[in-house]
Chains A and B, each alone.
Chain A
Amino acid sequence: MATAAAQRTARTGADGAPDTADTTAYQRAFDAAVAADERIEPRDWMPDAYRATLVRQIAQHAHSEIIGMQPEANWITRAPSLRRKAILMAKVQDEAGHGLYLYSAAETLGTSRDELLDKLHAGRQKYSSIFNYPTLTWADVGAIGWLVDGAAITNQVPLCRCSYGPYARAMVRICKEESFHQRQGYELLLALSKGTPEQHAMAQDAVDRWWWPSLMMFGPPDDESQHSAQSMEWKIKRHSNDELRQRFVDICVPQAESLGLTLPDPELRWNEERGHYDFGPIDWTEFWEVLKGNGPCNEQRLTQRRRAHDEGAWVREAAAAYAAKHTGDTGGTGATRA
């Protein structure tokens, strides 16, 4: 951002808030930067609401990555071939890595990972509702890759151009990995679809169960979306929920055909006039119910997350105590490797 240096100096008032006259000037500079498609960086001035919106969105995204590990980790120990097991482990590991980037991006806005995890554990911050559905068969691993990661990519690719620098940069890396995830899911389903009749049925059943929840991942229809308009103005968001949903449907229909699987929507058909596929009505009652906590796995996911955190408390305390005793020799967690 062009005037960043001047703003950095000004941000250090007694309570961190510049006076009103300054605020107006900063606001104008911020608006101009956003309008010019410049990136806002951590030390730049930004409106409080912009900061809060980003923290909310990045936290929800980070939480989705780490909660999203659970339904897939559910199949690591039962993966039916060593090749599939290696792919799945790598994917779940990527998700933990995405969680790390995203919590770090949130830290640049002044919110610590611990603080965000506490909010997740207390049920005060959300994660993507899709992970409140269970993975009942091996084919669900494929359906998650193809549909859930596919929907995530459709949502996330525009975020690589998001106005907030650290988030946009994290998304570039995440999207590259997500596209591998999507491809492995498609390829897993293809193997099942072309396999034995039992395998084919397993794949079809998984697609039947995951299709509609995947469409719900784009959020409520535009006219009911609470945060959309402001986020679009700030260029945090670039396309509307319904636009992205349509884009996803248009991508999936031909892919389903190549897979030899049927999407569970009798109203799905090409609309020549619109140049898009029409699709049937989404059951928003289910969406809101799952969001409220009444999905099949809400309780289970949060309980497992809290348990891992609580049972790991003594480990984190030990690491902190050791680091305090040995400042200077080995502070980190030993987890970093290039």
Chain B
Amino acid sequence: MTATGPATVPVTAALALGDDALVLSHRLGEWAGHAPVLEEEVALANIALDLLGQARVLLSLAGDEDELAYLREERAFRNLQLVEQPNGDFAHTIARQLYFSTYQHLLYADLAAGDGPFAPLAAKAVKEVAYHRDHAEQWTLRLGDGTETSHERMARACAALWRYTGEMFQPVEGLAADWARLEERWLESVTDVLTRATLALPEGPRTGAWSAGAGRQGLHTEPFGRMLAEMQHLHRSHPGATW
């Protein structure tokens, strides 16, 4: 697809990318007031804000941003299961960031280099995401190669989220990407970071054993429904109101 303009934007792809950003931003926003150190209050909020900005552009390509964010049911969301996983401890949040930002950075760099409808957005976002990836890498190194406790926690977190990483490379309709190559580069990069962090690459399957699919098919994990309930309740309590 080479033409540009909202009319030609593939809605499925805009929702997939937009929902990833929206949902991860929300999860990161839950850290506000709870971060382990003041610098991380600033950093996590910064990342959350970047993602929210991306989400707003992407959802607006697919329709009305607030209607899409606040009035869809759980089954209509197209985000990866990875990004909806609860924050857990700081190690889980960092492992989630490492897996996702590496993926997003590689994907957006490709999209930015192409001439598809997402190229302008990706060109701007790729700079933000480079920072997210760097932030996640630096913390993976510190936690993996810090103390015994932090090493253990980081290893546990990387393992726990491993099963949500396969879904990232399912082709998304309307996104021209070399998915197999993307996955190779992702694995290479994550292996490199984990090795430098003195962590082993987790073992085990990278997707759940459910033929119905996962987030991209609108199938989510149990915590996601509660997340949406919280996110949507005020908006839904005042139908038609403007804020």
Contact = CB atoms under 8 A, between A and B. Distances in A.
Interface of A: 66, 69-70, 73, 76-86, 89-90, 92-93, 96-97, 99-100, 103, 113, 138, 188, 191-192, 195-196, 198-199, 304, 307-309, 311-323, 325-326, 330, 332-337
Nearest to A70: B33
Contacts of B65: 82
Interface residues of B, number: 55
B36 A195 contact: no
B52 interface: yes
Contact of A316 (B37, B42, B55, B231): B37
Contacts of A309: 36
Contact of A78 (B142, B153, B231): B231
B12 interface: no
Contacts of B30: 76-77
Nearest to B59: A82
Contacts of A192: 243
Chain B interface main SS type: helix
Chain A interface main SS type: helix
A318 B150 contact: yes
B222 interface: no
B234 A322 contact: no
Contacts of B29: 76-77, 85, 89
B209 interface: no
B241 A199 contact: yes
Contacts of A73: 32-33
Interface in B37-71: 37-43, 45-46, 48-49, 52-53, 55-56, 59, 65-66, 69-70
A162 B231 CA distance: 43
Contacts of B108: none
B181 interface: no
Contact of B235 (A80, A99, A311): A80
B42 A335 contact: yes
A78 B233 contact: yes
A80 B65 CA distance: 12
Given A103-B38, A317-B150, A93 B235 contact: no
